[in-house]
Amino acid sequence: MIERVFAAIVFAFCIVMLLRLVVSAPRRYRFDAFVQRTLRRLHRAGLAVWHWRDARRDAQRARKLADEAIKRARDHGAWDGNVYTPKSFRKPPHDKMH
């Protein structure tokens, strides 16, 4: 089955290239420009789909990291008005023995 599909695609491509050789130069230029535009659009559409998947995955990861950071900030520090002071900034007690 796949061999027939591949053969049909190659046959259609050969027919298009043969017709391209038969037409006049201005029509050939227009046809080439049309093919280039179409391929560029398909390429951009493919890239958009590919990057959409990556962007979606990155957004989910960023959301998860932000939620974790917010949770850590709530649990490990003190608020004085709008100033947050983490517990890690507190100085250790002075050692009186030395």
- Over the stretch 79-98, which tens digit does the pLDDT of each residue have? 778 887 777 666 666 766 65
Q: Note whether residue 16 is domain-resident.
A: yes
User: Into how many domains does the chain fold?
Assistant: 1
Q: Note whether residue 31 is domain-resident.
A: no
pLDDT at 10: 97
Q: Note whether residue 10 is domain-resident.
A: yes
pLDDT at 55: 83
Q: Note whether residue 4 is domain-resident.
A: yes
Q: Note whether residue 36 is domain-resident.
A: no
| Rounded distance between C-alpha atoms, residue 93 and residue 98, angstroms | 13
| Rounded distance between C-alpha atoms, residue 88 and residue 76, angstroms | 8
Q: Note whether residue 95 is domain-resident.
A: no
pLDDT at 76: 72
Q: Domain residues for 2?
A: 1-25
| Rounded distance between C-alpha atoms, residue 77 and residue 85, angstroms | 6
pLDDT in tens, 41-75: 999 999 988 888 888 888 889 999 999 888 877 77
pLDDT at 29: 94
Q: Note whether residue 17 is domain-resident.
A: yes
| Rounded distance between C-alpha atoms, residue 39 and residue 35, angstroms | 6
For the chain, what percent of residues have pLDDT higher than 70? 90
Q: Note whether residue 8 is domain-resident.
A: yes
